[in-house]
Amino acid sequence: MQDKTYKLIELVGVSATSMEDAIQNAIGRANQTLKNLDWFELVEARGLIQDGKVGQYQVKLKVGFRLMG
Amino acid sequence: MQDKTYKLIELVGVSATSMEDAIQNAIGRANQTLKNLDWFELVEARGLIQDGKVGQYQVKLKVGFRLMG
Amino acid sequence: MQDKTYKLIELVGVSATSMEDAIQNAIGRANQTLKNLDWFELVEARGLIQDGKVGQYQVKLKVGFRLMG
Amino acid sequence: MQDKTYKLIELVGVSATSMEDAIQNAIGRANQTLKNLDWFELVEARGLIQDGKVGQYQVKLKVGFRLMG
Amino acid sequence: MQDKTYKLIELVGVSATSMEDAIQNAIGRANQTLKNLDWFELVEARGLIQDGKVGQYQVKLKVGFRLMG
Amino acid sequence: MQDKTYKLIELVGVSATSMEDAIQNAIGRANQTLKNLDWFELVEARGLIQDGKVGQYQVKLKVGFRLMG
Amino acid sequence: MQDKTYKLIELVGVSATSMEDAIQNAIGRANQTLKNLDWFELVEARGLIQDGKVGQYQVKLKVGFRLMG
Amino acid sequence: MQDKTYKLIELVGVSATSMEDAIQNAIGRANQTLKNLDWFELVEARGLIQDGKVGQYQVKLKVGFRLMG
Amino acid sequence: MQDKTYKLIELVGVSATSMEDAIQNAIGRANQTLKNLDWFELVEARGLIQDGKVGQYQVKLKVGFRLMG
Amino acid sequence: MQDKTYKLIELVGVSATSMEDAIQNAIGRANQTLKNLDWFELVEARGLIQDGKVGQYQVKLKVGFRLMG
Amino acid sequence: MQDKTYKLIELVGVSATSMEDAIQNAIGRANQTLKNLDWFELVEARGLIQDGKVGQYQVKLKVGFRLMG
Amino acid sequence: MQDKTYKLIELVGVSATSMEDAIQNAIGRANQTLKNLDWFELVEARGLIQDGKVGQYQVKLKVGFRLMG
């Protein structure tokens, strides 16, 4: 079983600025506790409205990383 | 029946700049006639091509707001 | 059969910057060999992670163009 | 915010004749109260059976129109 | 348990003429052996091409009918 | 065009008790301003968690009603 | 070929009370004519509205059972 | 109505060996009681785990056959 | 590798008359440049509204054909 | 990166009584080891049949919670 | 625009043996006329039944390759 | 709360040989750190192409296991 195996976790990142920033925030947070982060898949995008404007982007994403040894 | 009820409407916002700007435009327009806008859900993203470049982003989104009374 | 017919091709564009830039890159590349590019539809968004940050956005999109004569 | 915004409403049109006729009926009805009808998207098709024959086609469609000023 | 129960079966009807005719054919055939046919739901539409023309429409549909007693 | 046309609106009903109660609440609220409510379709179910228990069920549903005249 | 094979049928159960009751009704009816009922999968939930209240829950479900011999 | 009509049934086949074998088992079983089996469509694949290994593949498939007469 | 391989292309056909006519138009156009057209799959149906009527049906379809030798 | 990030885990809760009870059971179990449980999303509902009755409801749900600093 | 762009084409490969063999056949055929084949995505699996056995596996897949310069 | 609760994790297993082998590899790896592995659900299948052949099968699957006490 020398073949690699990967795990995916599902996160929701938020940002007041953009969907890209929300993705970055979730990945940055995951990087604090997980190594080998490899790829992400965007699952869903939504957000909050405040005073008639987008107040917060919320992106649901899956983050894949290699399971070690 | 003191529980809240929310309604969702479906809009298409457009922008020459970005998907975020197209979302903002649709929400800004909805805000002219509706109060209590609360959240949005991105349903679809597409756009027009002009001269080999993106000419217009078109985002379909659902906008949720609380029904009063 | 004077009615128009359109063809859709599926592309993946990449960018280190944003999803919009990845869309633009794919459309710019298609424009090198195809005329009459008309619209695009976003199919999927994902990306690569490098050093705990988004290293590359990858957007899968369909690009529609009119078939001539 | 000079960019256009569009709204989509969801209708079910019926007809004893064909799916196209059911689509036309729903759009004709919407046209009584809404201006600027622009496009439609077919969502679902079903129908009733009477005496072993299709008695009624029922098409669910979204109808898009531009929100004015 | 006096409440009604319905069963759905899945059929593919074919026709050289139209999707509506293909639907009618499948329902007409089902009516030979089943009573109480009540409604149908269109699941999928496809077909065969012969000599550069549609040779046969194939519609997959679910047909619902009440289970007696 | 004597054929009937139906409109669907999308609502989110909430309840601390059950999904059925959340459905009822949304329909009861719609009934305050709309006549001829005819059927509903469950689109999505989710909810809030408070103190390790379901604090609120949130059901998204479509409500169909006949357009008069 | 000693391996087991299972068949799924699709039913719609109804109830004035709850979705669970509608599920039970469909399964109870299937049990009158089929043996070895094993599991169910909820496919869709909808219902009728009467006098501004849910008049009938309608659940579409698949019921799986083992094929003998 | 000389056009053909086809019926689809849904089965789950199992095998300890492979998904192909599970498909074959379901089709072989269906062939005991049905004639004219024509095509299958893979709907879902899952399985059981025993002692840290796949113990059983379970494939859900639709099997189509022509209705006679 | 004597086994056949098929390719699918995605087209949008249009017609002022019916969805069947829009399908035929797309297939007729494809037949001008491709041989061995074999089957089609309906992917999506939409259209334009003009003066409160369907002005144009737009059907998105996949067209399959055998790749020669 | 002061923005919040949320994680979703996927659970299956079971209950002999109702879907709501199965949801509650899964959330109660998750609450034993996780803090800050925030919301849930219903993914799938199925169950076991015993003696011609629902023996067990099985609900698959995603549970979201905030990742701490 | 030094970023890479990829194109996806959709194929159906067939085999009497296995789904893997059907995938290989389609990729082998694509490799005769296209360079830089990079990845594939399985879209659909179905097949033909002959004499109560799987006569042919048919896998629909997307094949991605890099567009040069 | 004596009812059981199950958790699902999402993995990607790879293999140069077959989809079954890729499933086995992912499950074998999960078995190194998790007990009570119970079932899996196939979510997606894709792969890499090398020298015009499948170089690696990649299967995304969910693995379910019982949460202890």
Q: Helix, strand, coil: what percent of chain G each, to 5?
A: 15, 55, 25
Mind giving me the DSSP string for I1-65? --S-EEEEEEEEEEESS-HHHHHHHHHHHHTTT-S-EEEEEEEEEEEEEETTEEEEEEEEEEEEE
How far is it, in rounded angstroms, from Cα K60 to Cα C37? 27
Spatial contact of E33 and G61, defined as CB atoms under 8 Å apart: no
CA distance K2 to chain I (A): 28
Kind and range of the H or E element at A35? none
**Nearest residue on chain J to G18, alpha-carbon basis:** J18
Contact L13 A5 (CB under 8 A): yes
Asked if B23 has any chain D CB less than 8 Å from its own CB, the reply is no
Option in B18, B19, B46 nearest C40 (CB): B46
Q: Record the tokens describing residue H28, joined without a space.
A: 């072989």
3 state DSSP class of C50 = strand
How large is the average pLDDT for residues H46-64?
98
Q: What is the pLDDT of residues C34-45, one digit of tens each?
A: 999 999 999 999
Q: What is the pLDDT of residues G8-63, one digit of tens each?
A: 999 999 999 999 999 999 999 999 999 999 999 999 999 999 999 999 999 999 99
How large is the average pLDDT for residues A3-20?
97
Amino acid G3: pLDDT: 78
Q: Record the tokens describing residue I60, joined without a space.
A: 């998105």
How large is the average pLDDT for residues L26-53?
97
How far is it, in rounded angstroms, from Cα L61 to Cα K1? 36
Chain centroid, CA E51 distance in Å: 27
With cut-offs at 50, 70 and 90, classify the pLDDT of residue C2: low
Chains L and G touching, counted as 3 or more CB pairs less than 8 Å apart: no
**Nearest residue on chain C to B17, alpha-carbon basis:** C20
Instruction: Count CB atoms within 10 A of the CB of residue G69.
Output: 6
How large is the average pLDDT for residues D39-46?
98
Contact I29 C64 (CB under 8 A): no
Spatial contact of F3 and D14, defined as CB atoms under 8 Å apart: yes
How far is it, in rounded angstroms, from Cα C60 to Cα C47? 11
Whole-structure pTM value:
0.96
* ipTM for the complex shown: 0.96
3 state DSSP class of L27 = helix
With cut-offs at 50, 70 and 90, classify the pLDDT of residue E3: confident
Spatial contact of K6 and C11, defined as CB atoms under 8 Å apart: yes
Spatial contact of J56 and J37, defined as CB atoms under 8 Å apart: no
Give me the helices (H) in chain L, please: 19-30
With cut-offs at 50, 70 and 90, classify the pLDDT of residue E1: very low
Q: Is the alpha carbon torsion for H39, H42, H43, H48 positive or negative?
A: positive
The lowest-confidence range among F53-57, H28-32, L65-69 is L65-69
Domains and CATH numbers, chain A: 6-66 (3.30.1660.10)
Amino acid J3: pLDDT: 78
Q: What is the pLDDT of residues E29-58, one digit of tens each?
A: 999 999 999 999 999 999 999 999 999 999
In degrees rounded to 5, what are phi and psi of residue A12?
Answer: -120, 115
